[in-house]
Structure 1
Amino acid sequence: MTTAEPRALTTRHEDADRGGHPAPATPPDASWARIALTRAVLRGALGRLPLQVRCDDGTRLGTGGPRVDLHDTDAFHRRIGVHGLVGFGESYMAGEWDAPDLVAALTVLAGHAADLIPAPLQRLRRLWALKQPDAQRNTPGGSRDNISHHYDLSNDLFAVFLDETLTYSSALFRGFPATWPTLAAAQHRKIDRLLDLAGVTEGTRLLEIGTGWGELAIRAAARGAHVTTLTLSHEQRDLALERVARAGLDDRVDIRLCDYREAEGTYDAVVSVEMIEAVGEEFWPVYFRTLDERLAPGGRAALQAITMPHDRMLAGRHTHTWIQKYIFPGGLLPSVEAVEQTVRDHTRLRVTRRDAYGAHYAETLRLWRERFTARTDDVDALGFDETFRRMWTFYLAYSEAGFRSGYLDVQHYLLTKEDLSR
């Protein structure tokens, strides 16, 4: 990882929007008072953490641990002072700070997320935190834009760091540490477990909400299921159609460019993998009612969902985050409590089983990040610049740190629908 001096930020030469709205090259203006307060809060917070923070003015902070190098402390303070944690990520994109072991440093920060900011300032969060823009609401039109922002970047980009299954969700490993050659099998193991939970066998009518690049649909169809799978990504749909055709299963798989709210019909089983994170809190009841309405009596739904602590979800659900601005517009991770309450209050479904696999996601992300980092030349050849590469590296490392610290988790849910006719 580079420790060079910060460079001017650029955009992807083909289309700046597809590059993720790169951060401004010049840090935002901030009043003396705001910078002074930010400096004091950060010095207090970083000073008590198990980190080694080395500032360009010679200041040293932290009690020891992973190293963080601030190349432009003034810009770092200005970005955070004006844009909070969004500014923290933007400062990394700008090359204003680095860490020899980025995941280790971010894991420390994630592990102390609840107490980094003093309680009095946390109570004033609504006064300083950035608000989620209305344009990112997950209405049917908004969802199409939000999904396109991420998934229509380039199929070739995702192929750079995903394994040959093109599965973009947590794998399920037999043991740790995981290795790259085991990733494809671990992805199949995860898919098979979800299909087993949903009871997918010969003749099952299966609805998949969130196609990805088609691996789950292919695997379900190979079992003899008849699959209807929904996506909002043109890029994903085009490649999924090719992959299904190559597998000789296009007579069993119907891939629709369709919002989940537009789904029709009744199915024996529903599977949805890491889809609820993109739904938005406002539409969680609609999402789960859709599962209920599409599922036949006696049917089963299997979900894979990333979750976060309930108190942190409540504290930050109206805040605009770095991930939302640059990676997943409109997204929000639910808590276990939020999932269970929404299912209970808005559907006839019942949460029958829940299993957690957070450590498996940390390993999955590590393998993706290492692959992405090792293939920088391939990313560059696709037209993505250094700022984008730093953004994507930060995204993968930031996510991995969330799972390593226990701040994030990933769940397999089994939801069942009672057959009242029996």
Structure 2
Amino acid sequence: MWTKALDGLLTHLFKQGRLNVTYPDGITRPYGSGAGGQEVTVTLHDPTLPRRIVMSPDMAAGEGYMNGTLTIAGDDLFGFLSLAMTNITSQGQPWFRRPLEALRWFKRRLDQFNPAGRSRANVAHHYDLSGELYDLFLDADRQYSCAYFAHPDMTLEEAQAAKKAHIAAKLLIEPGMRVLDIGCGWGGMGLTLARDFGAQVTGVTLSKEQHGIANQRAEKAGLSDRVRFHLTDYREVKGQFDRIVSVGMFEHVGVPHYDAYFATVERLLASDGIALIHTIGRAGPPGATSPWITKYIFPGGYCPAMSEAVAAVERHNLVTTDVEVWRLHYAETLRHWRDRFEANIDRVRTLYDERFCRMWRYYLVASELTFRLNNQVVFQFQLTPKQDAVPLTRDYLYCDKSARLRHAAE
């Protein structure tokens, strides 16, 4: 029964290219017209896979690849996922899967319910992995968010530095300003704002691993008097700040907590302050996170539609003074991460095991292709309580970087 159901699903979905599937009974069936020239062959070794793929393709394909019960000829994961995403985007779900997709939609608010205790557990799941793992594929500053490829031939290090400079320009930072970094990661943004712009930075994170490393970096750089990182939830922060920056953290907030998030930004931001929120988002309407991503990579995570984020901003005393959409910058960032990860795969294997390597590869490839093929983007929201807190045109963002640094020093 389930083999027949999977056959119907694949017949409906695959029109472009060709997917050859060898079922657990040894029979191979082709799907797609072959148009476009892309051809991928997969083998299902587990007799439960047909049922699981019909019920939840994302989860079953991801787990099958991780566990080695779904294998791809030549281990061409990039080709398999690009062929699948292209066809699914074009064809949409067949009628018999729509109730299951609707269930995912209704379940999403429960998946995104992130009170402080659950948020800590979610963060630990991903960010408290071995620090050596991240050294193997990130840049030297450990920027674990979208880089800014102002020029296509930039290295990853150059593009990450360009990202920080672009954000600093939007914040219009002056020496001595009090800056809050919500979701500070390993401290790279906070250290840059303190060292290069003379800011007094407070960073907060829920990751014990990130917290310890960020403070070690501040001490080593001689910046402990200007930047300090705390192991605390953003909702527990007290005081007032001239600037608030949050890079790659809003994806962990969850729709049920958007009002609490922006109420916190409003409470902590000075009356003439500026906030910059940098987050992955979706160019289309609201949706639901892949169940495989939720279970294995980012529990509690969700990339918002612009309408969801802006609606929450509108309910608070904040003016949206700038919205910028970065389209393929994250795809290029992920390509660099994937190349570095594969170059260091033997070292990753010594840290964890083969299953982890396959899981992480699936995560990096699927994420890159989601940006390339599924209209996932990055939003930067510039917010302030005071309408004239920023210049009336965007010219200030593109002045010479050295001139900005001289201005900050003065």
Per the shorter chain, which TM-score range? 0.7 to 0.9
2:140 is the counterpart of 1:164: yes
Alignment-mate amino acid for residue 394 of structure 1: Y
Counterpart selection for 1:212 from 179, 185, 197: 185
TM-score normalised by the chain length of structure 1: 0.83
| Residues 130-185 of structure 1: per-residue CA shift (max 9 Å, x gap) | 9469587311000000000000011111111111111100111132255xxx1112
Contact 1:358/1:406, CA 8 A, preserved across alignment: no
Q: Which residue matches 1:105?
A: 80
Higher relative contact order (Cα pairs below 8 Å, separated by 6+ residues):
1
Contact 2:331/2:368, CA 8 A, preserved across alignment: yes
Cα distance in structure 1, aligned partners of 2:276 and 2:85: 29
Secondary structure at the aligned position of 1:71 is classed as: strand
Relative distance call for 1:168 and 1:378 in structure 2 (3 A) is same
Q: Percent identity?
A: 36
Deviating runs (4+, > 6 A) in structure 1? none
Q: Which residue matches 1:340?
A: 310
Q: Which residue matches 1:10?
A: none
Q: Which residue matches 1:402?
A: 370
Give 1:420 deviation, angstroms.
10
Contact 1:51/1:105, CA 8 A, preserved across alignment: no
Relative distance call for 1:150 and 1:133 in structure 2 (3 A) is farther
Alignment-mate amino acid for residue 365 of structure 1: L
Secondary structure at the aligned position of 1:353 is classed as: strand
Counterpart selection for 1:68 from 17, 40, 53: 40
TM-score normalised by the chain length of structure 2: 0.86
Size of the aligned set, in residue pairs, is 379
Alpha-carbon RMSD across the aligned residues, in angstroms, is 2.4
Relative distance call for 1:135 and 1:169 in structure 2 (3 A) is closer
Contact 2:40/2:79, CA 8 A, preserved across alignment: no
Alignment of 1:187-336 (within 5 A): 187-222=160-195, 223-311=197-285, 313-314=286-287, 316=288, 321-336=291-306
Cα distance in structure 1, aligned partners of 2:233 and 2:275: 18
Q: Which residue matches 2:59?
A: 86
Structure 1, unaligned runs of 5 or more: 1-31
Q: Which residue matches 1:122?
A: 98
Relative distance call for 1:347 and 1:99 in structure 2 (3 A) is farther
Cα distance in structure 1, aligned partners of 2:77 and 2:107: 27
| Residues 47-70 of structure 1: per-residue CA shift (max 9 Å, x gap) | x13344343623222233433322
Q: Which residue matches 2:408?
A: none
Counterpart selection for 1:50 from 17, 26, 38: 17
| Residues 322-356 of structure 1: per-residue CA shift (max 9 Å, x gap) | 10100000111101111111111x21112211122
Relative distance call for 1:411 and 1:211 in structure 2 (3 A) is same
Relative distance call for 1:98 and 1:350 in structure 2 (3 A) is farther
Name the stretch that deviates more: 121-130 or 282-291.
Answer: 121-130
Cα distance in structure 2, aligned partners of 1:208 and 1:123: 41
Name the stretch that deviates more: 99-108 or 263-272.
Answer: 99-108
Q: Which residue matches 1:13?
A: none
Alignment-mate amino acid for residue 174 of structure 1: A
Give 1:83 deviation, angstroms.
3.6
Cα distance in structure 2, aligned partners of 1:420 and 1:273: 24
Cα distance in structure 2, aligned partners of 1:420 and 1:58: 65
Cα distance in structure 1, aligned partners of 2:348 and 2:301: 25
Name the stretch that deviates more: 300-309 or 147-156.
Answer: 300-309
Relative distance call for 1:127 and 1:341 in structure 2 (3 A) is closer
Relative distance call for 1:202 and 1:99 in structure 2 (3 A) is farther
Relative distance call for 1:174 and 1:136 in structure 2 (3 A) is closer
Give 1:300 deviation, angstroms.
0.7
| Residues 335-389 of structure 1: per-residue CA shift (max 9 Å, x gap) | 1111111111x2111221112222111111011011111111111221x111111
